[in-house]
Amino acid sequence: MKKMLQMERYYAERVTEMRGSDIRDAFKLTEEPGIISFAGGFPAPESFPISLIEKLLQGMFQDDYSGLQYGPTEGLEELRRQVALQMERDNVPCTAANILITNGSQQALDLICKVLLDPGDYVLVEQPAYVGGLNAIGNYQGCRVGIPMDEDGLRVDMMANRLKEMSSKGQHPKFIYTVANFQNPTGVTLSAARRQALLQLAREYDFLILEDNPYGLISFGQEAVPHIKTLDDEGRVIYLGSFSKILTPGVRVGWITASESFIRQLTIAKQGTDLCSSSLGMKLVLESILSGELESHIASLRILYRRRRDAMLHALSSYMPPGVHWTRPEGGFFIWLRLPSYIDTKAMLPFAVAEEKVAYVSGKGFHVDGSGSSTIRLAYSEASEAEIEEGIARLARVIRRRIEAAM
């Protein structure tokens, strides 16, 4: 057989910064039968509005083939208008020219990093942060600086100190990446006061804010905290939205709201990436909005995920041993666990799977400084209420054994 080329010899330097994610690794463990998995963070498949999608697809091609044709790079004009209207309802002054439709918000993260980052540029990130965001920054050789969080989101006070320190060394971040609502991975929400303070710091130190909000509409009752973008009158905040969690991730439709000139630059970058987002996906999203049914669908999702959140919080307080702490999300898909510091949750995972058939994601991969080894991300989005109760009881047994072994 002919010897295969050693492809690594041809790779670009930036490839050294590209990492696989712990989350994907955890998926492999969950494929075994009988496993209850809190690893994925996928939407509940039974929540997908199948009959609505079938109805929309049936009516779609009668006198219009735009769902099957290449579309404009910026996205279907009518979809951009509808998204702009939604942003205006959220108090963000906006027209279609401020909207770029993307192939999911993950592509938005990639395009923004492509346009903004030179190798070695500093980017502030939440610690812990969404791995897909960290990877997008890493792919363009951005230098990630973690800012700690608490129950009210980013510790803006600690960020101020960090910025002062960085500034004295001549280090100026290009932007901060934040998931301010029901964060992935912790479930926490950045308080209104801290949003103001964050924008103040961004002005003082002249960096941009990347506000990624895929979970904002999956809220469990409390009044929504205004988007950071509503406080912005100079185009400093770049806002990302997505239909993945409120319709289906299969449509691969997200969007960027930003100043017109930045949208134009991103559009040029997108031309070289994929020409346009999925026309079929965009058309489905558009028709679901125009039918008026997306709104009622979102209302039903809030009820479904709220029940699952409640089931997980209840099970955690019933079964977890002392020394385990967790967040209480007001929306989204995730709860964050802190275990006693001597427990390594990555090392514990194979035992959780083998001994109790329960899976989770270790929190370490969400930290840019290698810390977080005793933390866990739990997703309540995919499992049923009964599975949540049983899965948390199993996980509590695994943790209890570790604590007892350390005594």
Ligand X SMILES: Cc1ncc(COP(=O)(O)O)c(C=O)c1O
Q: Which is nearer to ligand X, 73 or 106 (CB)?
A: 106
Q: Which is nearer to ligand X, 109 or 398 (CB)?
A: 109
**Least spacing, CB of residue 217 vs ligand X, in Å:** 13
Centre a 10 Å sphere on the Cβ of residue 180 and count the other Cβ atoms it contains: 25
**Least spacing, CB of residue 308 vs ligand X, in Å:** 16
Give the amino acid at 303. Answer: I
Give the amino acid at 337. Answer: L
**Least spacing, CB of residue 243 vs ligand X, in Å:** 7
Distance from the Cα of residue 40 to its chain's centroid = 12
**Least spacing, CB of residue 344 vs ligand X, in Å:** 25
**Contact present, 228 and 237 (Cβ < 8 Å):** yes
Using CB under 6 A, list all residues that contact ligand X.
41, 104-106, 130, 132, 179, 184, 212, 214, 242, 244, 249, 254
Q: Which is nearer to ligand X, 107 or 163 (CB)?
A: 107
Give the residue among 183, 224, 191 at the shortest CA–CA distance from 333: 183
**Least spacing, CB of residue 184 vs ligand X, in Å:** 4
**Least spacing, CB of residue 314 vs ligand X, in Å:** 24
Tokens of 22: 């712990």
What is the CB-side half-sphere exposure of residue 219 using CA atoms within 13 A?
A: 12
Which residue number has the CB closest to ligand X? 104
**Least spacing, CB of residue 179 vs ligand X, in Å:** 4
Q: Which is nearer to ligand X, 184 or 186 (CB)?
A: 184
Tokens of 204: 């003082």
Q: Which is nearer to ligand X, 243 or 356 (CB)?
A: 243
Q: Which is nearer to ligand X, 240 or 358 (CB)?
A: 240
Q: Which is nearer to ligand X, 132 or 226 (CB)?
A: 132
Q: How far apart are CA 386 and CA 398, in angstroms?
A: 19
